Amino acid sequence: MKTIACVLGGLVFALCSSTARAQDAPAGDLANGKRVYLATGCFTCHGRAGQGGAYNGPTPALAKTAMPFEGFKMQLRNPAKDMPAYSDRVMSDQEIADIYAFMQSLPGRRDAKGIAILGD
Amino acid sequence: MRRTQSKRTDDSPTIPRRNFLKGATLAGAAALGSPVPANALSSAPKANLKAAAPGPRQIAAETQPPVKDPVTQTSSGGDFMVDVFKTLDVEYLTMNCASSFRGLHEAVINHGNNSKPEIVNCPHEDIAVHMAQGYAKIAGKPIAMICHGVVGLQHATMAMYNAWCDRVPVIVMGGNIVEANKRAPGAEWVHSAIDPAAIVRDYVKWDDQPTSLQHFAESAVRAYKIAMTPPMGPVMLSLDAELQENPIPDAESLRIPKLAKVIPPQGDAGALAEAAKLLVTADNPVIICDRFARTGAGMARLVELAEALQCAVVDNAGRMNFPSRHPLNQSFRRGTVIPQADVILAIEMNDLWGALNTFSDRIVRSSQPITKKGAKIITLGSRDLYLKSNYQDFGRYQDVDLAIAGDGEASLPFLVEQVKRLVDAGRKSAYETRGKRLAAARLAMVEQAKSDATLGWDASPITTARMCAEVYAQIKDADWSLVGNSIRNFWPQRLWDFKKPYQWNGGSGGAGVGYNLPASLGAALANKPHGRLTVAFGGDGDFLFNPGTLWTAAHHQIPMLYVVQNNRAYHQEYMYLQAMAARHGRGIEKADIGTTIKDPNVDYATVARGMGVHGEGPIIDPNDLAPALKRALAAVKAGQPAVVDVVTDPR
C-alpha cells in the first residue's frame, strides 16, 4: 500500500509539474548529454531515440519525458525497480542535467494516424 | 573434423570391423612362429621373444575352419527400423551424418527411399534437435533426430534441454556400439558408452537402448507415445550399430506394435466443476496461460471460456493461445488486471510464481505478491503430472487453492460446459458490463502501442517497433506464420493481428541461445506443405550460434523470411553488465567489453548469400527496409529462404 501511495504521489507530482519541467531543470549541455547517454549505456535500456525498451521488464520512454528533473535525478540516484543506480561517483549532477536536456531535445511522439502502416 | 576422425582409415587399421577378430587371430598366429613376410622381418625386434604356449582358443583358431565371412547381405536391422518409423508416420529425420548410425542412414535412403522419414541434412546436432522442436510445435507431431554416439549427443544436449523445458515431443536417437569386442580401435571407442543417455536423462521423459529389433520396435512405439502424452517432451533411444547394420535374423517373428491414439488426460470432473463455480461467482476472474494450446482447437476453446465469463485473459505466449486483438486480451495490462483479480485460473503455466509476484534484481533480492489478498488461485495443467529434480525449470513454488492436474486443452470443454451451465441471465448482464470495460481498456492499449511505436520512427539504427511494423505491412495479407522472435521483442504481439493457431509457436523453453534460427526453420518445414508464409525475427547473437542452419534451408529449399534483429550485442547481457558496473560504482563506460558483436560488424546478408540463401542488408536506413523486405519476400514466395539483416536499436 505504501508503494502504491508513493507511486501515485509521484504521478500527481509529475502531472502537476509537467508544464514547468524544462524551466525547473538546471541548464544542460545537450551535446554532452547525448555523449554521456550513449557512452554510459542509458541507451541500452531506453533506446538511442529515448523510445524505451525492456530490461527485466519494460523500460520507460524518455524522449521529451514529462518527469520533472528532480524526479529524473532521483530515479538515477536511487532507482525504483531493477534499474541500476548511478551514484555521483560515476555520474555528476551536471551530467544528469545534460542527459535531461538531451532527452528534451529528442523528437518524441508523433501522431500514429499519420503513419499509414500503423493503421493496420 | 570430427567426422574425419571417425573414419577408420585415419588412425585405425583398414580392416573392417567384422574382420577385426580374424586379423587379430592372424597376428597372434604370426607371433607364435608362423611364416611371416620377409619385409616384416627387418622391423622385428632383435631380442629373442618368448612366445607363450598356445591356449585352447588359439589352438582352436588355427585348427578350425575359417569363420564364415559373408561380404553382402539382403536385409539390415536398419530396414526394419525404417519400417517402424513409417508406421509412426515420422516425416523427417534431422541429422548430421556419422558412422555410428551409418546402418540406419543407408536404410533410410535405400530401403525407405528417403521418404517417411526424409533426411534433413544439418551441419550441427543442435540445429537438428531445434529443427525438430520448431517442427513439432507447428505440425502437432514429432519428427526424429539422430546423432553420432557420444560426441553428437553432446552437441545435441542443449537443444534437448530447450525441448524439455518447452514440453515439445522430439524423438532423439544416437548411435552406439554396445559390445566392446565389436569396436574398432580409435574413434569407435571414444564414440561409445555404456549408458549414452546418462547425460540427457534429466531432461528426457524416457530413454532406452534396445538390444534386439523387436525390442527396438516396442521401444520406438513406446517412446512416441510417451513423447506425445502431456506433458510432452523429448525421448531418447540409443541404437547399437550392429543392430542397425547386421542382417535381420528372424524377420518372420518381428512385429511392429500398434500405436494407440494418445488421449491427453482431462482434469478431475469434480475439481473442474468447483473451478467453474469459483470463476462464475468471481467479480474479476482472470485467466492466465502459457504453453496451453497444443492443437488448432486450443485457442477456440479458450476464447469460448473467456467469452462465457467475459473475463480478462493474460497470454504469456508460450503457444498461440489467444487472439492478440480479442477485446478480452489483456496481456499488456497484466499489471492492472492481475492485482484486481479475485479468482485466477492459471492454465499450463510454466512459471506461475513469476507471473504473480514481483521480483527485485538488486543487491538484496526481494519479492512481493501482486495478487489481491484472498484471491483464489486455480491451476490447471499437466505440469504436476511429471517433474524431475535436478534442473530447476519448474520455477518457485506458488501457493494455490485448487490444483487440477490434467491437460489444459483436454479439460477445457468440460470446464466451459460447467461455466455455461452456471451463468444465469443476471450474471450475463454483469458479465457484459465487465466485458465492455475490458474491451475499452484493450482499445486504449492498442492506441498506446501505436503511439509508443512512433517514438524514434525515423531513427537509425532502426527501432524494433519500426522493424516489426514494416514487416507486418508486407505480410499481413498473406497466410503468415511467425515462428521465432528475438528476446523481449513484444512489438508483434502489441501491433499484429494474431488469430490463427499457427501464427505463433512460442519460444525456446530453456532460453538456450541458438534456438531461434534452426527452430524457425523446423517450423517453416512444417508450414511448407500448407503454403504458409513463414516469418521469424531473431537476434544476431542467436544467429551466430547456428549460422549453418541457412545451408540446410537452402539445401532443402525451405521457404522462410528470417529477419535478423541486429543490435550488434548480446544485449541482455550488455544491460546486466551495465547494471553490475553501476552497482559497483565503476567503469560504467566499459560494459560493451565481452557483450557486443562489433569490430568487425557481422554482415549477415553476406553470410546468408554464402550459404545459398537470399540476403538483404545490412539495412541501416528505415526507409530502405520496405524495399528490402519486398525483394526478400519475392524470393520466399518463389520457395527460397531469405535473410534480411536489420541494424536495430537495442530493444
pLDDT in tens, B164-191: 999 999 999 999 999 999 999 999 999 9
pLDDT digits (tens, 9 = 90+) for B498-548: 999 999 999 999 999 999 999 999 999 999 999 999 999 999 999 999 999
- Report chain B residues whose CB lies below 8 A from the CB of A112: 447, 450-451, 453-454
* H helices present in B324-475, as ranges: 334-340, 352-356, 408-422, 425-454, 464-475
Q: Give the pLDDT band of residue B55 (cuts 50, 70, 90).
A: confident
CB contact under 8 A, B456 and A63: yes
Q: How many CB atoms lie within 10 A of CB B432?
A: 11
- Report chain A residues whose CB lies below 8 A from the CB of B452: 51-52, 61, 109
Q: Which residues of B touch A (CB under 8 A)?
A: 360-362, 447, 450-459, 461, 463-465, 469-470, 472-473, 476, 488, 490, 495, 497, 571, 574-575, 578-583, 585-586, 588-589, 591, 649-651
Start-to-end CA span in chain B (Å): 38
Classify residue B260: in a domain, yes or no.
no
Three-class DSSP category at B319: coil
Residue B251 class from Cβ within 10 Å (0-12 exposed, 13-18 middle, 19+ buried)?
exposed
CB contact under 8 A, B459 and A85: no
Q: State residue B651's pLDDT score.
A: 87
Q: State residue B16's pLDDT score.
A: 39
Q: Give the pLDDT band of residue B447 (cuts 50, 70, 90).
A: very high
**Residue B609 CA, distance from chain mean position:** 26
Q: Give the pLDDT band of residue B50 (cuts 50, 70, 90).
A: low
B423, B316: one domain: yes
Q: HEC profile for A96-118?
A: HHHHHHHHHHCCCCCCHHHCHHH
Closest partner residue to A120 (CB to CB) among B463, B476, B580 is: B476
Say whether residue A99 is in contact with chain B using an 8 A CB cutoff.
Answer: no
For A27, phi and psi rounded to 5 degrees? -60, 135
For residues A21 and A97, is the Cβ–Cβ distance under 8 A? no
What CA–CA distance (Å, rounded) separates B282 from B279? 5
DSSP string, B595-639: TB--SSPP-HHHHHHHTT-EEEEEE-SGGGHHHHHHHHHHHHHTT
- For residue A87, the distance in angstroms to the closest alpha carbon of chain B comes to 7
Say whether residue A40 is in contact with chain B using an 8 A CB cutoff.
Answer: yes
CB contact under 8 A, B649 and A43: yes
What CA–CA distance (Å, rounded) separates A35 from A29? 10
Looking at residues B569-594, what average pLDDT do you find?
A: 94
Looking at residues B564-571, what average pLDDT do you find?
A: 97
B81, B144: one domain: yes
Residue B151 class from Cβ within 10 Å (0-12 exposed, 13-18 middle, 19+ buried)?
buried
Say whether residue A49 is in contact with chain B using an 8 A CB cutoff.
Answer: yes
Three-class DSSP category at B328: coil
B183, B301: one domain: no
B55, B193: one domain: no
B486, B616: one domain: yes
The CATH number covering residue B249 comes to: 3.40.50.970
On the question of pLDDT at A11 being above 50, the answer is: no
On the question of pLDDT at B253 being above 50, the answer is: yes
What CA–CA distance (Å, rounded) separates B119 from B189? 27
- For residue A94, the distance in angstroms to the closest alpha carbon of chain B comes to 17
DSSP B253: G
Q: Are strands B343-347 and B376-381 parallel, antiparallel or unpaired?
A: parallel
B421, B466: one domain: no
CB contact under 8 A, B589 and A39: yes
**Residue B470 CA, distance from chain mean position:** 28
Classify residue B293: in a domain, yes or no.
yes
- For residue B132, the distance in angstroms to the closest alpha carbon of chain A comes to 30
Residues making up chain A, counted from first to last: 120
For B636, phi and psi rounded to 5 degrees? -65, -40
On the question of pLDDT at A20 being above 90, the answer is: no
DSSP B124: S
Say whether residue A32 is in contact with chain B using an 8 A CB cutoff.
Answer: no
Q: Are strands B144-147 and B171-176 parallel, antiparallel or unpaired?
A: parallel
Q: Give the pLDDT band of residue A22 (cuts 50, 70, 90).
A: low
What CA–CA distance (Å, rounded) separates B335 from B339? 7
- For residue B536, the distance in angstroms to the closest alpha carbon of chain A comes to 19
Residues making up chain B, counted from first to last: 651
Closest partner residue to B575 (CB to CB) among A45, A51, A85 is: A45
Q: Give the pLDDT band of residue B59 (cuts 50, 70, 90).
A: confident
Q: State residue A21's pLDDT score.
A: 55
Closest partner residue to B473 (CB to CB) among A47, A63, A120 is: A120
Closest partner residue to B582 (CB to CB) among A50, A90, A108 is: A90
- Report chain A residues whose CB lies below 8 A from the CB of B571: 44
On the question of pLDDT at B437 being above 50, the answer is: yes
Q: Give the pLDDT band of residue A78 (cuts 50, 70, 90).
A: very high
B185, B274: one domain: no
Beta bridge partners of B643: B562, B615
Mean pLDDT, chain A, rounded, equals 85
What is the percent of chain B with per-residue pLDDT over 90, rounded to a whole number? 88
Classify residue B534: in a domain, yes or no.
yes
Classify residue B263: in a domain, yes or no.
no
Q: If you measure CA to CA, which chain A residue comes closest to B373?
A: A1
Poorest-pLDDT segment among B10-14, B143-147, B254-258: B10-14
B229, B314: one domain: no
- Report chain B residues whose CB lies below 8 A from the CB of A40: 588-589
pLDDT digits (tens, 9 = 90+) for B126-147: 999 999 999 999 999 999 999 9
Work out the angle between the directed axes of helices A93-105 and A69-77 (0-180°, nearest 10).
120
Say whether residue A61 is in contact with chain B using an 8 A CB cutoff.
Answer: yes
Work out the angle between the directed axes of helices A69-77 and A2-17 (0-180°, nearest 10).
140
On the question of pLDDT at A9 being above 90, the answer is: no
Classify residue B473: in a domain, yes or no.
yes
On the question of pLDDT at B29 being above 60, the answer is: no
What CA–CA distance (Å, rounded) separates B592 from B594? 6
On the question of pLDDT at B32 being above 70, the answer is: no
Looking at residues B616-632, what average pLDDT do you find?
A: 98
- Report chain A residues whose CB lies below 8 A from the CB of B485: none
What is the percent of chain B with per-residue pLDDT over 70, rounded to a whole number? 91
Q: Give the pLDDT band of residue A33 (cuts 50, 70, 90).
A: very high
Looking at residues B82-108, what average pLDDT do you find?
A: 98
Mean pLDDT, chain B, rounded, equals 92
On the question of pLDDT at B121 being above 60, the answer is: yes
On the question of pLDDT at A12 being above 70, the answer is: no
Q: If you measure CA to CA, which chain B residue comes closest to A65?
A: B455
B96, B162: one domain: yes
Classify residue B261: in a domain, yes or no.
no
DSSP B234: -
Among residues B558, B504, B515, which one has the least CA distance to residue B539?
B515
What CA–CA distance (Å, rounded) separates B553 from B627? 23
Classify residue B450: in a domain, yes or no.
no
- For residue B491, the distance in angstroms to the closest alpha carbon of chain A comes to 10
CA separation (Å) from A118 to B9, B446, B536?
62, 10, 20
Three-class DSSP category at B421: helix
B565, B643: one domain: yes
B419, B484: one domain: no
- For residue A66, the distance in angstroms to the closest alpha carbon of chain B comes to 15
Q: Which three cell numbers stand for residue B200?
A: 540427457
Q: State residue A23's pLDDT score.
A: 62
* Residue found under cell 467479480: B283
Q: State residue B51's pLDDT score.
A: 61
- For residue B202, the distance in angstroms to the closest alpha carbon of chain A comes to 28
B214, B311: one domain: no
On the question of pLDDT at A5 being above 50, the answer is: no
- Options 1.10.760.10, 3.40.50.970, 1.10.10.10, 3.30.70.1170; CATH for A2-108 is 1.10.760.10
Q: State residue A26's pLDDT score.
A: 87
Residue, of B53 and B496, whose pLDDT is higher: B496
Say whether residue A55 is in contact with chain B using an 8 A CB cutoff.
Answer: yes
pLDDT digits (tens, 9 = 90+) for B303-340: 999 999 999 999 999 999 999 999 999 999 999 999 99
Closest partner residue to B589 (CB to CB) among A40, A48, A53 is: A40
Q: If you measure CA to CA, which chain B residue comes closest to A63?
A: B455
What CA–CA distance (Å, rounded) separates A65 from A4? 21
Classify residue B427: in a domain, yes or no.
yes
What CA–CA distance (Å, rounded) separates A71 from B228? 54
CA separation (Å) from A32 to A38, B30, B622, B629?
10, 86, 26, 37
- Report chain A residues whose CB lies below 8 A from the CB of B473: 117, 120
What CA–CA distance (Å, rounded) separates B159 from B624? 35
Q: Please give the ipTM for the structure prediction.
A: 0.86
Segment (H or E) for B238? strand B235-240
- Report chain A residues whose CB lies below 8 A from the CB of B495: 118
Structural domain including B14 reads 2-41+50-63
Among residues A76, A78, A120, which one has the least CA distance to residue A98?
A76
For residues B588 and A91, is the Cβ–Cβ distance under 8 A? yes
Closest partner residue to A44 (CB to CB) among B455, B495, B650 is: B650
Give the type of residue at B267. G
Q: State residue B166's pLDDT score.
A: 98
Say whether residue A2 is in contact with chain B using an 8 A CB cutoff.
Answer: no
Among residues B372, B341, B343, which one has the least CA distance to residue B438?
B341
Q: If you measure CA to CA, which chain B residue comes closest to A80?
A: B360
Number of domains in chain B: 4
- Encode B552-565: b = buried (16+ Cβ within 10 Å), e = exposed: bbbebebbbbbbbb
